[in-house]
A and B are shown apart, each in its own frame.
Chain A
Amino acid sequence: MRGLLSFLRRNPLAAIGAALLLLILLAVGLAPLWSLLWPLPSPIAIDIQAKLAPPGAAHWLGTDYFGRDVLARLLHGGQATLAIGLGVVALAFCAGVPFGLLAGYAGGWADLVMMRVVDAMLSFPALVLAIALAAAFGPSLGNAMLAVSITLAPQFARVARAQAQSIAARPYVEAAIALGVRPPRLLLRYILRNGIGPLLVQASLALGSAILQTASLGFLGLGAQPPWPEWGADVSANLAYLRGAPWVVLAPGLAILLAVLSFNLIGDALAEWFNPRRRNAR
């Protein structure tokens, strides 16, 4: 752990990513508290007289077509967007990892069949598969999340399989088998626990793509439905006002960029941390 901290110190980009994430989490997570400090309007409070007001003292980031405060929507929408990212990755992790561990540990036919399924799912551009699934399930936030997690799960399966294959050959696993440890316990306590590193890297990188893809689905009208704030849906809902009132589009758009960037900075550094070959190369 101390090694990781000193690595962060030597790796300014990772530190920037962590700081950025912390900032976003503070701003977004404490959104309800901020309204106690200064009057932050409700994200769905309509004020037609103030519609499309430019950023100013009353509305720091301006207002949208319905006179709703952009900053309020940004902070509340961020809760949705970040929760979506976490939820999607958790779903993908829980679906992909057991599948991959089993395939890598069992080997043989089971492995062959499972990996062909994974190959087939990876044969679609992720966004296209997510669009097709979300369209088939019907447009709602829950369905969009489900669709994105289905497209992310194969990557987790791949990484988990590679981990299971390399760890299953180690002496301590053989020893555990000889001692009569049952497969479920073996997979969970011995293989998953020792192979968790690359899976965490994958999760951190997947968080970025989960947010990006759910936002893209929202942009295409397949994600969160109005009036509730969500960054991707907010970009798409305000497209028509891009020329006259760019803030209504740029604020949620840039928020997505910053959030995804922070996860990618962290994931990138973690990948380097868990890959000794690259760690030494620097």
Chain B
Amino acid sequence: MARYLAWRLAALLPVLALVLVIVFTLSRLIPGDPATTLLGPGATSAQIAALRAQLHLDEAPLLQFTAYLGGLAQGDLGRSLKSGAPVLEEILLRLPATLELSLLALLLALLAGIPIGVWSAVRANSGFDHAVRVVSLAGVSMPAFLFALLLQLVFGVWLGWLPVSGRASPFFLTEPVTGFAILDALLEGDGEAALDAFLHLLLPTTVLAAFLAATLGRFVRNAMLEVLGDDFVRTARAKGLREGAVVFRHALRNALLPALTIVGLKFAEMLGGAVLTETVFAWPGIGRYMFDAIRNRDYPVIQGTTLVFALIFLLTALLVDLLSAWLDPRLRRGMR
């Protein structure tokens, strides 16, 4: 296991290096001179020269890149052009909101996607199976922003059951300790505030979870169908095991392992969708922060959030790989 871990980490390094190169290059793609673009038309030549020096624009590209890496090593993602605050601080401030949303969405997607996938495989080609297939394809095809708007319209505006935006009602603002709204409210022993935070979470979580649940349900179905056709399943049936035991103990266990990879990949992909979802629901996470940065042409923030999203992606992939290796003895031993 230790060797596998070491090998996996070593394989990550070149990819990480290339990710850094890509993110660095992004800031140099801005047409014309970045300093002039960043400062806008009203800037004096002295200001431009100062910013050029600050951004190391007057140096060779390789030196610029090493300066960028040096900054990163010290946790320096640059400063926001809008607020002047360090980008890293601003991102860390908003990260809990995004994590709270996406982890809950992950949980919801697992709870919905796996049973649906299993049931469609067991009842393959039934009415239920076909209905699930259509609904899940629609779920994958649905633009996240449209689904978010529809939910807002139906549950927020027409029915008036749920709040349409934000993270908490004005009179329920709790002191952030962990940064997770529900936890913070519970820590204060404020049940009403916790409920309020939960209600605010419902709609955005549903939007994020829908995409993941749709993908996962379809994947589990197909994986189950393949496993259910395998010889060991026939053996299990032949020795007289009850169908429930065959499906859950034998087939599902083997179908879940490939599903884990998909969950990891799609979870990270879903975070990209957080930009849209957080924007529609005015959710104060890093997705919304990125959207605001786009509007303000706040390039250091765009660059910083892009890097953080990529790092979360890489970290998730690593976690999934390690988890699969831990769960699957074949991967743990033999390979490499």
Taking Cβ atoms with an 8 Å cutoff, the residues of A that contact B are 13, 116-117, 119-121, 123-129, 131-133, 135-138, 208, 212, 215-216, 219-222, 232, 235-236, 239, 242-243, 246, 249-250, 253-254, 256-257, 260-261, 263-265, 268, 277-278, 281-282
Shortest CB distance B94–A (Å): 15
Chain B min CB distance to A233 (Å): 12
- Tell me the B302-318 residues at the A interface (CB within 8 Å): 302-303, 305-306, 309-310, 313-314, 317
Complex contact B27–A136 (CB within 8 A): yes
Tell me whether A116 and B14 are in contact in the complex, defined as CB-CB below 8 angstroms, given that A124-B309, A135-B299, A261-B141 are known contacts: yes
Report the nearest B residue to A113, measured CB to CB.
B14
Question: Are B143's CB and A256's CB within 8 A?
Answer: yes
Q: Are the CB atoms of B29 and A137 closer together than 8 Å? A: yes
Complex alpha-carbon distance, A281 and B157, angstroms: 45
Closest B-chain residue to A246, C-beta based? Answer: B153
| Nearest chain B CB to A143 CB, angstrom units | 10
Contacts of B303 in A (CB 8 A): 132
* Chain B residues within CB distance 8 Å of chain A: 14-15, 18-19, 21-23, 26-27, 29-31, 124-125, 130, 133-134, 137-138, 140-146, 149-150, 152-153, 157, 222, 225-226, 229, 268-273, 275-276, 279, 290-291, 293-295, 297, 299, 302-303, 305-306, 309-310, 313-314, 317
Decide: A208 near B141, CB < 8 A? Known: A220-B291, A278-B222. yes
- B140, B144, B272, B317: most-surrounded residue (chain A CB, <10 A): B272
Contacts of B26 in A (CB 8 A): 132-133, 136
Q: Which residues on the B side are within 8 Å of A136 (C-beta)?
A: 26-27, 29-30, 299, 302
Contact B142 A257 (CB under 8 A): yes
Q: Is the interface of B mostly helix, strand, loop or mixed?
A: helix
Interchain nearest-CB distance for A27 vs B (Å): 18
Q: Is the CB of B313 within 8 A of A215?
A: no
CB atoms of A129 and B306 under 8 A apart: yes
Could you jot down 29 A-B contacts, CB within 8 Å?
Answer: A13-B137, A119-B15, A119-B18, A120-B15, A123-B317, A125-B270, A125-B309, A127-B273, A127-B275, A128-B309, A131-B290, A132-B26, A135-B299, A136-B302, A137-B31, A138-B31, A216-B144, A216-B276, A219-B143, A219-B276, A235-B143, A242-B152, A250-B149, A256-B146, A261-B137, A264-B140, A278-B222, A281-B226, A282-B125
In the complex, are the beta carbons of B313 and A221 less than 8 A apart?
Answer: no
Whether A120 pairs with B153 at a CB distance below 8 angstroms is no
Other A-B pairs beyond A121-B22, A123-B317, 8, CB < 8 Å: A13-B130, A125-B273, A127-B272, A128-B306, A235-B146, A235-B149, A242-B157, A246-B153
Kindly provide the distance from the CB of A202 to the nearest chain B CB, expressed in whole angstroms: 15
Find out whether the CB atom of B137 lies under 8 angstroms from the CB atom of A268. Answer: yes
- Give, as a whole number of angstroms, the nearest-CB distance from A20 to chain B: 11
Please report the C-alpha to C-alpha distance between residue A246 and residue B158 in the assembled complex, in whole angstroms: 11
Separation of A137 and B275 alpha carbons in the complex (Å)? 19
Query: A138 CA to B26 CA in the complex, in Å?
Result: 12
Q: How far is the CB of B25 from chain A (nearest CB, A)?
A: 9
With A and B bound together, what is the CA distance between A138 and B141 in angstroms? 27
Q: Are A123 and B149 interface neighbours, CB within 8 A?
A: no
